[in-house]
A and B are shown apart, each in its own frame.
Chain A
């Protein structure tokens, strides 16, 4: 007698009725459990999985048997399970589990497609060898393949499956024969019934469904059902946007002609509507007049529900709802209702519910698996006790993305209202992203020695956690401190070392940024001629040292966030000491080539940063103004400066820099970036003149290093379309006197993101820029610019930082040349500030 449920395809084995009455369940004690039908599986473990044990009491028929069968089927390798009572003696029952095994997948093969595609298919279908073959698995795989090709425009793809069993091993091979046919193009799109809006405009709205046409290169014609459905909605949305509130697609047909399809659709445009009267009800706090002005919709405007909705709750701070939502009215609702439709005019009634004000009670933070609570909580603009404010929540969201520890695309904010006590909890859910950067490159070149870079930046470091081994991920992290180490060498010739540390909240009470950094640069001028025996009478004596430049420096800085006039302002003071030793090296092109110079400088920078995020800002601006001073030694030094080494023993200058950048989303994902940069170097007295230290060097990628390293406190600034460091006064191909004393630069850039994945943020850009660099104030003219335009791409990967490539065309000739600079390629590593 059959007591369980299995696949019921075949009748139960005929066993004599042993007194089990299906209608009257009775309790039995299991005497024995046997297993039959196993081929490769172990009978004992089958019993173990079934959960039936000799000695157990079970009800027959009853849930125990059913759940056993379910458990075994869930195990997944079985095609069929039956539990049968083989014998019943009084209270005792003998059970047999009969199973039918399913074959396992030996391999999956694909035919009808190219080899490369086969590999892609293998990744797509994710069939794991050794898995049990089930009908669901086959069906799903077929669908995955079909969908994959349909999404690529192969509308008529057919997938056949052949299961080739290998009975000796209980395995089977699945062969998928794919006949994808030709890409299905759209022969013709026929739109009927449109009288107000042209076919051309409507077809343009079908963004993913394009008619076959010669020369359609960027958006080839193909038919993808999913896209077509989206496009139909877009078409109707377009009508609605233009006042055609009743527009519908009456019917549409997709005719399959084999290699092509044709689409026919009939639209019913309906009438074009306009606003008539807008009335407000339920408003007690603000007058209808005030709300109407805020809404900004006038009588006679084209009726556009989408736009209306945006004006009600769109831009934070500018829409109707934010006057309530920023003042705690969390339960505020506004419901625009069409009150009357007369001819082509529509009366709108704004039904409002103002509700009660809600105060923030708790701030909850989830998902910070690396960054300490306090590092995040101290930065939030929403505080317990404040009135709920939508704008502050959006500001907080920006702040969270700006910190750089979390994936900006995945920040979630959830207000949890508690209606009964008039409070609201705000829950922030974040997802950590890697914020450290490691840069490693290197090689060994015979006489030259080590060539390469070792750079480490830890943006979320924690000094406190150093002794706490278990918090190392892979280094002590979570306190928002920054540690950077960098070593770069070009053999013995050129080396830089730097070490920096900063803590954003010194003491933990106030956002006072404390930073300290050390740097060392060594540059040795060497003579390779001797290496190959030129000019030394044929004897090779290795690389000969001819002179050098050595710089050691230390900088300590303290930055403070200001509250007035707004909270985005940061004021930073820093004090630096640099010691330069020149050993018969001519880097200034003047008389000074041997000596020791000391530079003590004080810098004050005020900056305001409202960028939406750092990787790919879509809105906001960043403005910074800085002034640097050294003590005016010339005022109390008596020497006549005839000796250059004496003259430059103490470096003196004052310097002002201004940088501003502005970002705005133009449409969709396209972002406009406008930047301006300028810098001026001044001298304290005519006697001392302009310092050769601290000058500006303009042109090219703006990259320090790469053989174009920064010497003598220079500011290296890029100008695409021109060669590195070549804009401005030159002497023997190098910046004269160490560089210019005034520079200007203006940039306009359009950026488009290809991928915003934090593992690899990629965007492409087109730009036009201009700039110049002057050696004297007499020649300074902010309108005399070297102009260029070009295109480029940037990729940001957490481990490498930002990498960029640009192609630019320089329209002007460099000073002293007659030919325009022409096309140039530039490579950049790291974020360029200027």
Chain B
């Protein structure tokens, strides 16, 4: 290390440049990086400047500092657009961004940036040998976004034990997922969870007043609608059996509700004595809590 700090303190620019190149070739990217960083402002405008900047970007990339390297490669590309390394720099900029993209459960700004950089690269160099790779990376990053949306849609279903109203959130976020990713393989499972969430919403619905009963009826009708959508799309699906049970139960409940409504209507029609109190409605299922 003594040699390195001596070079740093007393070495000439040329010595530093040569040493930086040697360190780079030996794979000591940390030391090479420090030297290049020092040299770049001094070398600005000289022949070595171009190479120094290019290698400097690589030292950062090799150390896993992808956010710095993507910036440096871009800067290189912008400064030396006609350089022989320009294409490689652009690719490395996009590739660094791809490497820097955050895991699915975190903020995805970096993923969006990476996708657009990769797309820009393909557009700028349609004949590049890296083209295929870039296309693959874009698909990979899109899968990540898909996984994020899937986990988010499932989360509302998962926490509904604690907060019943998140069942409604689950239905909505599953619908949003289907809109955003119509071809996703997750759609089958989510279609089932949607039936399940809607069934939970319906069966936990309060049903003491006529108005509440109407809400419950609509909710059960939605269970049937969602179930039908599911089996139309996935007739042989693995969730069919479980969903069928909910479907059957919803139909029974619906029949009950309609019966009550009939009875109630008749009572109203037959009402002779205006002072008579309205008949109390009987609940077909016991409600756990309000879902509104």
Contact = CB atoms under 8 A, between A and B. Distances in A.
Contact of B107 (A361, A365, A383, A561): A365
B49 A42 contact: yes
8 contacts: A46-B45, A51-B82, A361-B172, A362-B176, A373-B151, A384-B168, A386-B169, A478-B105
B169 A367 contact: no
Contacts of A44: 47
A385 B161 contact: no
Contacts of B49: 42, 45
Interface string B144-187: 00001001100110110111011011011100100000000000
Nearest to A78: B45
Contact of A49 (B79, B109, B158, B166): B79
A371 B163 CA distance: 22
B159 A385 contact: no
Given A42-B45, A367-B107, A368-B107, A377 B152 contact: yes
A131 to B, nearest CB: 8
Contacts of A48: 50, 80, 82-83
Interface string A394-424: 0000000000000000000000000000000
Instruction: Give the interface centre of B41, B49, B159 by most chain A CB atoms within 10 Å.
Output: B159
Interface string B68-96: 00000000000111110000000000000
A45 B42 contact: no
Given A369-B106, A373-B105, A386-B165, A77 B45 contact: yes
Given A46-B45, A384-B156, A384-B173, 11 more contacts: A40-B45, A44-B47, A45-B46, A75-B79, A366-B107, A369-B107, A373-B106, A373-B148, A378-B155, A383-B156, A385-B165
Contacts of B109: 366
B134 to A, nearest CB: 22
A383 B166 contact: yes
Task: Please indicate which of the listed interface residues B50, B106, B151, B171 has the most CB atoms of chain A within 10 Å of its own CB.
Answer: B106
A509 B161 contact: yes
Contacts of B155: 373-374, 377-378
Residue among A41, A48, A383 with the highest chain B CB neighbour number at 10 A = A383
A130 interface: yes
B41 A509 contact: no
A130 B162 contact: no
Nearest to B201: A385
Contacts of B173: 362, 384
A374 to B, nearest CB: 5
Nearest to B108: A366
A40 B158 CA distance: 67
A103 to B, nearest CB: 14
B159 A378 contact: yes
B102 interface: yes
Nearest to A76: B44
A383 B163 contact: yes
Contacts, number: 97
A383 B165 CA distance: 8
Q: How large is the interface on B (under 10, 10 to 19, 20 to 34, 35 or more residues)?
A: 35 or more
Contacts of B81: 51
A42 B44 CA distance: 9
A666 B157 CA distance: 43
Contacts of B105: 372-374, 478
A26 interface: no
Nearest to B173: A384
A22 interface: no
A510 B171 contact: no
A694 B124 CA distance: 74
Nearest to B102: A369
Nearest to A51: B82
A45 B151 contact: no
Interface in A509-525: 509-511
B103 interface: yes
Contact of B172 (A77, A384, A510): A384
A366 B148 CA distance: 13
Contacts of A372: 105-106
B168 A385 contact: yes
Q: State the 8 A-B residue pairs at the shortest beta-carbon distance, nearest first.
A: A41-B45, A385-B168, A384-B169, A384-B172, A42-B46, A383-B169, A372-B105, A510-B162
Contact of A45 (B45, B106, B158): B45
A508 B158 contact: yes
B3 to A, nearest CB: 25
A99 B168 CA distance: 69
A510 B107 contact: no
Contacts of A832: none
Contact of A361 (B102, B165, B176): B176
B235 to A, nearest CB: 29
A667 B17 CA distance: 61
A510 B165 contact: no
A53 interface: yes
A471 interface: yes
Interface string A560-581: 0101000000000000000000
Contacts of B151: 373-374
Please indicate which of the listed interface residues B41, B50, B103, B169 has the most CB atoms of chain A within 10 Å of its own CB.
Answer: B169
A4 B102 CA distance: 47
A44, A362, A373, A386 pick with most chain B CB within 10 angstroms: A373
A130 B13 CA distance: 14
A370 interface: yes
Interface in B186-240: none
A783 to B, nearest CB: 44
Contacts of B46: 41-42, 45
Contacts of A42: 45-47, 49
A400 to B, nearest CB: 14
Contacts of A361: 172, 176
A370 B109 CA distance: 13
Interface in B33-80: 41-42, 44-47, 49-50, 79-80
A49 B82 CA distance: 8
Interface string A61-86: 00000000000000101000000000
Contacts of B158: 508-509
Nearest to A371: B106
Given A40-B45, A41-B45, A378-B155, A370 B106 contact: yes
Interface in A16-61: 40-42, 44-46, 48-49, 51, 53
Contacts of A365: 107
Contacts of A471: 103
A300 to B, nearest CB: 43
A202 to B, nearest CB: 50
A361 B163 CA distance: 17
Nearest to A382: B169
Contacts of B80: 48-49
Nearest to B157: A509
Interface centre among A386, A478, A561 (most CB of B within 10 A): A386
Nearest to B172: A384
Contacts of A370: 106
Contacts of B103: 471
Nearest to A379: B159
Nearest to B165: A383
A508 B162 CA distance: 10
A128 B152 CA distance: 48
A372 B105 CA distance: 5
A51 B81 CA distance: 8
A374 B168 CA distance: 17
Nearest to B155: A374
A368 B169 contact: no
B171 A373 contact: no
A100 B243 CA distance: 79
Interface string B106-128: 11010000000000000000000
Contact of A53 (B42, B82, B163): B82
A51 B79 CA distance: 10
Contacts of B171: 385
A197 B169 CA distance: 57
